[in-house]
Chains A and B, each alone.
Chain A
Amino acid sequence: MSGRSIIRDALRDCLDRHRRRPAVAGGSEALSYEELGRRIEAAAPLLPAGHVGFCLANRPEYVILYFATLVAGHLPLLLDANFNTGEIEAIRGDCGLDALVMERTKAETLDLPGKGEPIPYGDEVVVLPLARDAGPAFAPRPDTEVCRFTSGTTGRPKCLEFSGHAVVSAARNWVLGTAMTVDDRTLCLAALSNGLAFNTSLLSTFLAGGELCFLKGVPLTRPVARRIAESGITRLVAFPTLYRNFAAPGGPDPSLLAGLKHAISAGAPLWPDVREEFRALYGLDISDYYGIAETGPCTFERDADHHAGLGQPLPGVEIRIAPGAEDAPGTGEVLVRTASMTSGYLNHPGLFEARVDAEGFYHSGDRGRMIDGRLHLVGRTQDHINVAGRKIDPTEIIAVVSALDGVADAVAFPDEDLNREALVHLVVVASTQEVTRSAVAEACRARLAPYKVPGRISFVQEIPRNGIGKPRIALLREQLGTRKETVA
């Protein structure tokens, strides 16, 4: 990273302007902007120079050490806290990691070569220095200030590079587009490594002069509701499952959510009936915002009385619909141009650029249409599987399974469980009896992050394929639907 940091400068401006106001709260910590600034400055010298990976659940220490990394002039890489050792090693090889910020207990059990002596930061968090045997395979662009990750193939998460300009633009446009103010207190329950949380909570809250709050522990509806009431939370940033649990019978007392002004859901599509039931119970519409890892936030519904679609484009966001040959009138691929786009994939040069057209529009792979200025999605053209907001490349799973002796063929595609949660459905053709459902599941659990492990495993005699060898998923679904005894 170059000496100048646009994010650091934007943050310092916030810290100066809002000194006495509450900035961050979580667990037993509650910091004003002034205290946050002091903690950031004090933490900066603790961090080893270079690339600092964050493999940590949401907590005030995350915010302090993230901004401390920028203040120190280093590069933060925000890893999914669920990444396994193989994925961390892959990132280390591709992008370089000089340190990991993580929970002390996880650092103790992490089996990585070149682990240094952990530097404690409070009672529960450490900075774990890592020795570099060789330089990373890829060097970040000079203006890259933050890296985040999205699923890649063969266990190598794709590293998205973001310039400071892109990060600050995303935060500013979110503040403007959602009318965020100093009076807003955001309870962020989505992981900060996720684009949803990163863009809607981390810097945007501070740009507005608001307060960013975290919940210690598991996000069950009762503690979440209590926290909303006790802390005067005005914005809840969460995921569809939490809203479903709120809307289910026996949920928390609606009066606890009376102060909530925005309930924001993203990461995965929200079920329409959950939206309806939540509104009926709590009198609040859930804003089902649309964003893409590569482009940042794209839409938001500003009109509380408008209940259809994913909202209007945020400031600085342009959306075009590019009709394909088989699309219904008005429908097509969603193309997006924003000021908050990634600069590219650090470890997959050219891949992002290939999906951006001459006018700078990113071809999302989503299909949709605009109705009354709102984006409505109708499907996807890409093969990624979205599980709880994490995009999974099925080829990664197939690569793991195909390496097993006795697996003749395999395919993975999106499916749903009984709770309508998205899952990966893996279909295997086995040439020996040794290939059992438990053996396949065990192999996946050993080599893949937990969210990538197939939730359903089926066996068939043959996977139907078309003339060019592409699996015929619709036909396979039909076959499996008629042969339930083979579905795990």
Chain B
Amino acid sequence: MNEDDLAAMKKRVQRLVYMAAGGKIQEEDLGHHDTDLRTIGLDSLGYLNLLEGLERTFGVSIDLDQEEDHSFLHTIDNIVRHLLARRGEAA
């Protein structure tokens, strides 16, 4: 994946996080893709919406019980890395 595609994918995930949080997180707070989403207010309902959004947008199935480490959901960078790994691509 080239730099532009990677940046576009991060933007899509950023938008999904914003929508999942129902606007409770500021757009500017999501601009730093290494920010821990839990510290800026993504709550359990937000994560529920985000997982639904990721599944439907990227066509992946995310089963948290099968994932020992949930840190892949903590930042936008981590989410993108996880999605790419699921597709067999490198970030």
**What is the interface of chain A, defined by CB distance below 8 A to chain B?**
82, 216-223, 241, 245, 248-250, 388, 416-421, 423, 441, 445, 450-451, 453, 455-456, 488
Contacts and interface: CB of A to CB of B under 8 A. Distances in A.
B51 A419 contact: no
A241 B45 contact: yes
A445 B36 CA distance: 14
Contacts of A245: 48-49, 52
Interface residues of B, number: 22
Contacts of A219: 48
From A249, A418, A445, A451, name the one whose CB has the most chain B CB atoms within 10 angstroms.
A418
A217 B64 contact: yes
Nearest to B44: A450
A419 B21 CA distance: 8
Given A82-B44, A220-B48, 9 more contacts: A217-B63, A218-B64, A220-B52, A222-B55, A248-B52, A417-B21, A450-B43, A451-B44, A453-B43
Tell me if B's interface is mostly helix, strand, loop or mixed. Answer: helix
Nearest to A388: B45
Contacts of B23: 417-418
Interface of B: 19, 21-24, 26, 41, 43-45, 47-49, 51-52, 55-56, 61-65
Nearest to A216: B65
Contacts of A222: 55, 61
A453 B44 CA distance: 12
B24 A220 contact: no
Given A220-B51, A245-B49, A417-B21, A488 B44 contact: no
Contacts of B48: 218-220, 241, 245
Contacts of B24: 417, 423, 455-456
B19 A250 contact: no
A218 B49 contact: no
B47 A218 contact: yes
7 contacts: A220-B62, A245-B48, A245-B49, A418-B23, A419-B19, A421-B22, A455-B24
Given A250-B56, A453-B41, A217 B65 contact: yes
Given A220-B55, A421-B45, A455 B65 contact: no
Given A220-B48, A221-B52, A222-B55, A423 B22 contact: yes
Contact of A418 (B19, B56, B62): B19
